[in-house]
Amino acid sequence: MSYDFQGIASVITASRHLGTPSDERLNDSVNIQMSSSGKPTIARLDFDTPLDWPGNPNFLAVNLPDGSSLSGVIIDMERPTNAPGWVTFTVDD
- Per-residue model confidence as pLDDT tens for the chain (93 residues): 678 999 999 999 999 988 888 999 999 999 999 999 888 899 999 999 999 999 999 999 999 999 999 999 999 999 998 999 999 999 976
What residue numbers bound the domain in which 11 lies?
5-90
From the CA atom positions of the chain, what is the Rg in Å? 12
Domain count, the chain: 1
- Are 74 and 58 within 8 A, CB to CB? yes
